[in-house]
Amino acid sequence: KGRGVVAARTFNKNEFVVEYAGELIELSTAREREGKYNHSSAVGCYMYYFKYKNKNYCIDATAETGRLGRLVNHSRLKPNCSTKVVVVENVPRLILVANKTIKNNDEILYDYGDRSKESILAHPWLAL
């Protein structure tokens, strides 16, 4: 697990928890950056790929900005949040929404959704 995010209050089911904020980029740019990030042990990779209205997007949240969404840890088995796309001024944005009641001091967790053999071999914790 990485740094993680802990709830500072109770969140009700379906309530907004945090935005996964970063730079919205084209897929070609995303693949290029991801390759660079993977070759540097000093830089993590905080990229989230998603589809909205039949178009592929990527949010690159790798840069340290103080925003918490990028620090939320993965749990395939016990997530308490789900991702949801919202549109603000015609731009798709990614938020995390509570999929059940989250109590004060609970760790915020969501399923990163990556099930590729390559990713699970490189990061076995994705299966957990």
**C-alpha closest to that of 18 among 31, 1, 6, 32:** 6
Residue 77 lies inside a defined structural domain of this protein = yes
DSSP string over 9-21: S-B-TT-EEEE--
pLDDT score for 47: 86
* CATH classification at residue 101: 2.170.270.10
pLDDT score for 36: 82
Residue 5 lies inside a defined structural domain of this protein = no
Tell me the residue range of the domain where 105 lies. Answer: 16-127
Residue 110 lies inside a defined structural domain of this protein = yes
pTM for this structure?
A: 0.84
On the question of pLDDT at 93 being above 70, the answer is yes
**C-alpha closest to that of 84 among 3, 20, 35, 25:** 20
- The total number of structural domains in the chain stands at 1
The model's pLDDT over 63-87, given as tens digits with 9 standing for 90+, comes to 888 899 999 998 888 999 999 999 9
On the question of pLDDT at 103 being above 90, the answer is yes
Q: How far apart are CA 40 and CA 79, in angstroms?
A: 29
pLDDT score for 108: 98
Residue 9 lies inside a defined structural domain of this protein = no
DSSP string over 61-102: --S--S-SGGGPEE-SSS--EEEEEEEETTEEEEEEEESS-B
Residue 112 lies inside a defined structural domain of this protein = yes
On the question of pLDDT at 121 being above 70, the answer is no
